[in-house]
Structure formats: C-alpha cells, structure tokens
Chain A
Amino acid sequence: GAVVSQHPSWVICKSGTSVKIECRSLDFQATTMFWYRQFPKQSLMLMATSNEGSKATYEQGVEKDKFLINHASLTLSTLTVTSAHPEDSSFYICSASVGQGAYGYTFGSGTRLTVV
C-alpha cells in the first residue's frame, strides 16, 4: 500500500533554533500533503495544506512565518519550525492523499519535537 515516510521520528532542539521535518511519499506521487500537530491527550489539529509547486495554505491561527512549508516535488514536503520555543514542543504528523475518498489518506509515523 501507499506509504508516507516521516523523518526524523523524534528530535530535541534548543530554544531559538530551527528544525526541519521531512515527509516523503514512497511509492506514489502526492500533489497535496497535510501537516498536523497533536498535543498530549488531544486530537490532531490541521496546521496547513501543502501543495506541490505552490504556496501552502495555512489554517487560521497558524503562523506561516514560524512554520515554513515547502513542497518542491511530488514526493517530498518539509515543515520547518523556525526559532523554536518550548511551546512548539508537540507531535507533528504529515499525511497525503492516495486516491478518492477518505480511505485514500495515509499518514506518516509522526515526529516528536522537544524544544529545551
């Protein structure tokens, strides 16, 4: 089946630094990918929709200058958390559509970001 690979699975960074998270579609092309953030004991919150070759669409309340999204190819989208702060510590998940219908969405394994 369609697989989305997310890397790294966990990262610890110092406050003020930037961190890049990669999301790759391994056996299919993804024109659109989605980025979610999840805090402990909470549901997934959609941050942005990443479109290949164009600017990402951010959900209301998500700072586009802080969470930089690049979708330069049909198999790779990246999320860069810039000038990270402890409150950015969270679980970040990407997903991509592989076909019509909700069953067509596959998710990455997630990235645990801890900012110290």
Chain B
Amino acid sequence: LAKTTQPISMDSYEGQEVNITCSHNNIATNDYITWYQQFPSQGPRFIIQGYKTKVTNEVASLFIPADRKSSTLSLPRVSLSDTAVYYCLVGDHGRDDKIIFGKGTRLHILP
C-alpha cells in the first residue's frame, strides 16, 4: 500500500471551492486513488475514485496529474455540512484486501 500525505487540517468558508491535495509518491502502476468522507460518530463514506486525469461526480472532482504522484480532491461551493474528515487512500485493492487509513484531513467550514 502506498503511503499518503495530506494536510492535517483546513479551514474554508461557505460557498468557496475547497481543494485537498494528497501526495502518494510511491503509487504503483495498478493502484487506484480513492477518497472517503467521515462525519463525527459515523462510518466513512465513499466520495470518489480515479486512476488518472480527472473524474467528476455529483459530489466532487478528482484531479490526478500525469505522474500520479499526487491527487487533488475538489469540493465545489462547500457548505457547513461539508465539515468532516477526508481520507485519501491509494491501493490496488483486491476484493478482500484490507484498507489502512492515514491520518486524513480535517476540513472545517466556517459561515
């Protein structure tokens, strides 16, 4: 499993776009990049996954440069309800492979 590095915490304001970058210098060829969101006292929730370039869904966008050594989760027009911890995970997860979580980024949205 590739080691990931994310900022420990970030603050932003409602309505702003928030970008959280994750470094994964040792990413392997078969590895995917996945982001999870966790609210207090809840289990993590899948946000988005990508392999290269850009992926967008109804919640977020994921930007992955050509060298894949980093990735950026972009949350458009955040609201107070986006206050959560965001985890970047990198791995070639087989069906039953375990997931090891890093420290994550604690995002705090201010009014």
A residues within 8 Å of B by Cβ? Answer: 4, 6, 31-32, 34, 36, 43-46, 49, 91, 93, 95, 97, 99-110, 112
Closest B residue by C-beta to A110? B43
Do A102 and B91 touch (CB < 8 A)?
yes
Do B43 and A97 touch (CB < 8 A)?
no
Q: How near does chain B come to A80, taking the closest CB pair, in angstroms? A: 20
Task: Report the bound CA distance from A101 to B101 in whole Å.
Answer: 15
Closest A residue by C-beta to B100? A46
Option from A4, A97, A109 in Cβ contact (under 8 Å) with B95: A97
Q: Is B102 at the interface (CB under 8 A from chain A)?
A: yes
Option from B89, B95, B99, B100 in Cβ contact (under 8 Å) with A100: B95
Q: How near does chain B come to A76, taking the closest CB pair, in angstroms? A: 17
Contacts of B100 in A (CB 8 A): 46
Do B98 and A43 touch (CB < 8 A)?
no
Contacts of B83 in A (CB 8 A): none
Q: How near does chain B come to A104, taking the closest CB pair, in angstroms? A: 7
Do A46 and B98 touch (CB < 8 A)?
yes
Contacts of B94 in A (CB 8 A): 100
Task: Report the bound CA distance from A44 to B101 in whole Å.
Answer: 6
Task: Report the bound CA distance from A106 to B47 in whole Å.
Answer: 11
Closest B residue by C-beta to A91? B41
Task: Report the bound CA distance from A97 to B98 in whole Å.
Answer: 9
Do A110 and B42 touch (CB < 8 A)?
yes
B73-92 vs A, Cβ < 8 Å mask (1 yes, 0 no): 00000000000010101010
Q: How near does chain B come to A67, taking the closest CB pair, in angstroms? A: 16
Task: Report the bound CA distance from A116 to B41 in whole Å.
Answer: 19
Contacts of A91 in B (CB 8 A): 41
Contacts of B96 in A (CB 8 A): 31-32, 49, 97
